[in-house]
Amino acid sequence: MNALPADFLWGNSASSMQTEGGWNEGGKGLSVYDIREASEFASDWKVATDTYHRYEEDFDLMQDLGMTCYRFSLAWSRVCPDGEGEFNEEGIAFYQRFIDALLARGIEPMICLYHFDMPLALAEASNGFCDRRAMNAFIRYGKKMIDCFGGRVKYWLTFNEQNLYHMPDAFLISGYLRGEKTLRELYAIQHHVMVAHAHLTRYLQQTCPGQLMGGMLAHALVYPATCKPRDVFCARQLDEFLNQNLLSVFAGCGYSPEVLATVAREGFSDIYREEDLALLATVKNDFLAFSYYASRTLDADRIPEGTAVNNYMQYGDRPNPHLQATEWGWQIDPLGFRSIITEYANRWRMPVFPIENGIGVIESWDGINPVADDYRIGYHRDHINAMKAAIAEDGARVMGYLGWGLIDILSSQGDMRKRYGVVYVNRDNHDLKDLKRIPKKSYGWLRLAIASRGETL
C-alpha cells in the first residue's frame, strides 16, 4: 500500500491546559491546574503557549501543513466557571470562534470534553469523580456542549485516555484533592467516569445523528518480560483490566466478567448500580481511539503478593533490552503500534483512530537555524509505516493519524523542555520570551508526507 485514502484524516492533538493560557480572562473560573505552582522543571499553567490569543496563527500553520483534523479539549471552567452552576456565554463564544476558524481552514474539529482540568470549585466540593456529584455535573456540562457545538463538530470524545482512571494516575487527574487513595476510591472514580461517558455517548447519538463519539485509551502495549507463565499471565491480566475492560464497554458489551468478579470479591458492588450496568450494556461507540508513544515490559517477580491488578506496573515495570529509549525512558516500538491497531480491528470490528503519537525530546533553538530533528522524522515515519501495514496487510479500518502536539506545548507535567512539535515555540519553563513559532526540519517533511497521503515518507 502506498497512498492512504483521500478521506483519511491527518492532524494533531492537544489539550486546553497545555496550550490555552488566558487563565483569568473571558470569565474563566479556576481549574485544578491554575493553582499549581512552577518548580525547577515545570512551568505554571497560566500562559502555556497562549493559544487563547494565538490560535489563528497556529491554525494557519496546521492549514499550511495540510492537516484536516485537530483534536482539542474544552476548558470546563471556561464555559462553566464553578463546574456545576451558570454557564459562561463569553467562554462558549470563544469556542464558537475557535471552531469557526478551524472549519474555515478545512480542518475538522474533534472535541474532547475533559483533559484532567476539573473546575477547582467542583473538585473542592465533591473531591472529584469519587462522588456522583461530579459525574452528574460533567454529564450536564457535556450535554450543554453537545447542544452548543454538535451541529458543526462531527468527532467527539468524553475523556482523554480514559483507562488512566483505572490506574494510580486517576488520583492526579480526576479532581481528587483529599483522601487515602484507596482501591475502593479508584473503582468509584473509574466507574463514575465510564457512566458519564456512556450517558454522553447516548445523548450525542440521539440528538446529533451522524456525529461520532469515540472511546479513547492510553495504550502502552505491555509485554511479558519472559516466557515464564507468570509473566505472561500477569501481562494478560493487566491488559484485561486496563484496556479490554473499557474496549468491551465501548463496543457495547458491558464490563469484563473478570473485572466484575474482582468488584464483587472486593465488596465494591454497591458502587455499580443496576441502572448503570444496564446503560453500559446498551451503548456502543462509533470508533475506538487511542494514544500511543511507547511499549512497556512487565516482570511478575517484582509484584508483591496481593497487589491489585490495577497497580501491577508500580512494581513490575522494567526496561525492554530489545528496544531503544528516549531520554525520558520511553521505549520506541513502531511494531507495538501496529499490534494495537490490528488487535482493535480484529477483536472489536470497529473503526480505529490513533489520535496521539509522537516523541518528546529536549530541544533548543539557536535563534537562527531550524531545529534539525531527524529523530522526529524517523519516529513518525516508522509509526506511519507500521499503521499502513496494519491497514494493507492486516485489514484494519483506520480513520486517520493525529500526532501529539506537533506545535510545541507544555508536557503533561508542565515541562516545556519535553518537546513533541514540528514547530518550535520560543519559551522555556520560566521565561516566556516571545512565544514565536518556528518550523523545525520535520515541518517540511510532514507537509510532504500529508500532501502525498503518506506515500512520500
Three-class SS state of 209: coil
CA 283 and chain centroid, separation: 21
361 by Cβ neighbours in 10 Å (0-12 / 13-18 / 19+) ranks as middle
Three-class SS state of 290: strand
- Angstrom distance (rounded) from CA 308 to CA 234: 11
Three-class SS state of 168: coil
Residue 223, C-alpha cell as written in the block:
509485554
- Angstrom distance (rounded) from CA 88 to CA 98: 16
Would you say 73 and 115 are in contact if contact means Cβ atoms under 8 Å apart? yes
From 20, 84, 343, 356, the catalytic residue:
356
Residue 343 annotated among the catalytic residues of the structure? no
Sign of the CA dihedral 226, 232, 233, 235? Answer: positive
- CA distances to 43, 386, 428 from 363, rounded to whole Å, are 16, 26, 10
Residue 96, C-alpha cell as written in the block:
464558537
Pairing, β 418-419 against β 361-362: antiparallel
- Angstrom distance (rounded) from CA 79 to CA 31: 11
> For 158, phi and psi rounded to 5 degrees?
-90, -65
H or E stretch covering 365: none
- Angstrom distance (rounded) from CA 445 to CA 427: 24
Would you say 268 and 182 are in contact if contact means Cβ atoms under 8 Å apart? no
From 108, 161, 343, 363, the catalytic residue:
161
Would you say 456 and 448 are in contact if contact means Cβ atoms under 8 Å apart? yes
Residue 356 annotated among the catalytic residues of the structure? yes
Q: Mind telling me the catalytic residues?
A: 161, 356
